[in-house]
Amino acid sequence: MAFPAPSPGRTIRVLIVDDSAFMRRAVERLLMAQPGITVVGTAADGLEGVQRALELRPDVITMDVEMPRLDGVSAVGEIMQAVPTPIVMVSTLTHDGTATAIRALEAGAVECVGKPSGLSTDLANVGEKLHEAVVRASLTRLQRRKPGLVSGRPMVVLPAAPGPSATARIPAHNLLVIGSSTGGPPALTEVVPHLPGDLPAGVVVVQHMPSGFTNALARRLDSLSPLSVSEAQEGEPIVNGHVYVAPGDFHLVVTREKRIHLDHGPSLHGVRPSVDITLDSVTAVYGRSANVAILTGMGKDGAEGAAKLEAAGGRVFVQDEATSVVYGMPRVALERTSHATQLPLDQIAAALATSLPGLRSTR
């Protein structure tokens, strides 16, 4: 995605929440060094963070994951209920740290970045990523909503076949692609787990997310889904009933042999992985036997690929504006295609599943 710049004359007011005094100072220095950002306050734990959010009403909050009194996930949940504010999680790149960051995204946070180590080179690198994440977060639209509901409607859940999937390990002759960016992790938890367990297709998920977090996202989706979900590995075959999450910092390409290839080539639209690069390969290999859903996200990644897939006979679904955290990628995909179907998030899973041949009409 093209990196957004703050609006001219607009200052983004940031609250920093971290239990480390060193890290609070480091994050403050990194952000204050960037134009258009000012730090309006800090908090030493989640409980103080909630209180300061209510007092200061910042534009964006950066939030540590593991803190005393009230952890980052709980703090996100309380803030999103009391005073919905865009939150960027600043997480250690450990198994527990990234897993907790994913749960914070589900609770309402909109971005995540790795916590700097304190080395000058690492601080500079993280500073740029943190600045970009804060600017993106400031452009999101948030609203109070109950967990498990979108726009107040119950989620449509497709029943899975009982017992082990009969389609497991069968080479996939059909493929579903799901592309998402800002707001994507919670949206994915309301799509992937609601695909049926006997889905006669493989599924590829391309979520714009830094390296280190996509494996945690895959583990989280796997724990919620009747389908098997994993971070994609080089050379593995695409089979029915399996979801492959593109790893952060790699483009996921589908080969002629219907296997996964991970490409560390140049970023596209400022991102790697790119939905467009995945869709280009999917269109060449699967053609009309593939369908795509473009979910919430900033920018235009996925739009050109969706148009090419549609021209080859595949179907395109886009998330509607009312349920999108950022109505960027879905809007551009809708504009670039001729017959895309726009749907609220709670109808995307059913639309994807029933768009494939071989599913029982009773669904």
Summarised one tens digit per residue, pLDDT across range 196-222 is 999 999 999 999 998 889 999 999 999
- Name which of 255, 277, 276 is nearest 264 in CA terms: 277
What is the model's pLDDT at position 162?
A: 41
- Nearest C-alpha neighbor of 112 from the set 80, 88, 135: 88
Asked about 301 being catalytic, the answer comes back as yes
**pLDDT class of 171 with cuts at 50, 70, 90:** very high
- So what's the pLDDT on residue 34? 87
- Please tell me the distance from the alpha carbon of residue 196 to that of residue 353, in angstroms, as a whole number: 7
C-beta atoms surrounding 208 within 10 Å: 27
- Residue 360, pLDDT score: 40
Of 18, 64, 71, 208, which one is the catalytic site residue? 208
Strand order across the 228-231 sheet: 228-231, 242-245, 202-207, 175-180, 290-294, 316-319, 341-343
Among all chains, which residue has been given the structure tokens 């699967």?
286
Query: Would you tell me how many other CB atoms lie within 10 Å of the CB of residue 254?
Result: 26
Q: Residue 77: helix, strand or coil by DSSP?
A: helix
19 belongs to the catalytic site: no
Using only C-alpha atoms, the chain has a radius of gyration, in whole angstroms, of 20
Mean pLDDT across the stretch 288-299? Answer: 96
CA distance to 141, 200, 218, per residue, from 335 (Å) = 21, 30, 30
For 15-79, the three-class secondary structure string (H helix, E strand, C coil) is EEECCCHHHHHHHHHHHHCCCCEEEEEEECCHHHHHHHHHHHCCCEEEEECCCCCCCHHHHHHHH
Confidence of residue 141 (pLDDT cuts 50, 70, 90): confident
120 band by pLDDT with thresholds 50, 70 and 90? low
Q: Which of 91, 165, 180, 181 is catalytic?
A: 181
177: buried, middle or exposed (CB in 10 Å: 19+, 13-18, 0-12)? buried
Q: How far apart are CA 314 and CA 355, in angstroms?
A: 10
Assign 66 a pLDDT band (cuts: 50, 70, 90).
confident
The more confident residue out of 309 and 1 is 309
Residue recorded with tokens 């050379």: 235
Q: Residue 4 — pLDDT band, cuts 50, 70, 90? A: low
Q: Give the model confidence (pLDDT) of 41-65 as tens digits.
A: 999 999 999 999 999 999 999 999 9
Choosing from 19, 301, 320, 346, which is the catalytic residue?
301
Question: Would you say residue 127 has pLDDT above 90?
Answer: no
Q: What is the pLDDT of residues 174-187, one digit of tens each?
A: 999 999 999 999 99
Considering only CA atoms, which of 75, 76, 112 is closest in space to residue 93? Answer: 112
pTM confidence score: 0.88
Give yes or no for a contact between 32 and 38, defined as CB atoms under 8 angstroms apart.
yes
Res. 312: pLDDT tops 60: yes
CA atoms within 13 A on the CB side of 331: 11
Q: Work out the average pLDDT over 256-280.
A: 96
Residue 123 is predicted with a pLDDT of 64
pLDDT score of 168: 55
pLDDT of residue 161: 42
* Dihedral sign for Cα atoms in the order 344, 345, 346, 348: positive
Distance CA(293)–CA(272), nearest Å, equals: 18
Q: In sequence order, what are the beta bridge partners of 228?
A: 242
Contact 317, 346 (CB under 8 A): no
276 is annotated as an active-site residue: no
Average pLDDT (139-167) is 49
Distance CA 97, CA 361 (A): 43
Q: Are 272 and 249 in contact (CB under 8 A)?
A: yes
Determine the pLDDT at residue 356.
82
Q: Residue 149: its pLDDT value, please? A: 38
* 72, 63 contact by CB (below 8 A): yes
**Domains of the chain: residue spans and CATH:** 12-138 (3.40.50.2300), 158-354 (3.40.50.180)
